[in-house]
Amino acid sequence: FIRLLPALPDNWTYGSFKGMHVRGGATVDCEWKDGKVIKAVVTALVPDTYRLMLPTGSVEADVRTKGKKFIIKDKIISFSLKGKGDKAIFRF
């Protein structure tokens, strides 16, 4: 599964990264503020089902894929991206 910012230093209170390659054939963009993840975008390089663990301190996520919106309240979110370039957008 994809785990966002598992060991963020205390002095990195805000920031972002783009295009980090993750296992399974996807890239991740991530933004954080006050030491907490606020947004992540997973982009498929290959069609697959991906899993993302909720960031520390988060209890739910607003997830959008192909225009569909749904709320997840579980530690691990499973989602399918069916084509190269498909995206899942997470807000925490």
pLDDT in tens, 2-24: 999 999 999 999 999 999 999 99
Strands, E assignment, 1-92: 2-3, 15-22, 26-33, 36-44, 48-53, 61-65, 68-72, 76-81, 87-91
Sheet with 48-53, edge to edge strand ranges:
2-3, 48-53, 76-81
Q: What does the pLDDT look like over 40-80, one tens digit per residue?
A: 999 999 999 899 999 988 888 888 888 676 667 678 898 98
Q: How many domains does the chain have?
A: 1
pLDDT value, residue 33: 97
> Is pLDDT larger for residue 28 or for residue 60?
28
The rounded distance, in Å, linking the Cα atoms of 81 and 26 is 10
Name which residue leads in pLDDT, 29 or 79.
29
- Give the residue numbers spanning the domain of 29: 2-91
| Residue from 57, 18, 16 nearest 36 by CA | 57
Pairing mode, if any, of strands 2-3 and 48-53? Answer: parallel
For residue 82, the domain's CATH number is: 2.60.40.1180
Q: What percent of the chain is modeled with pLDDT above 70?
A: 95
Average pLDDT value for residue range 82-91: 95
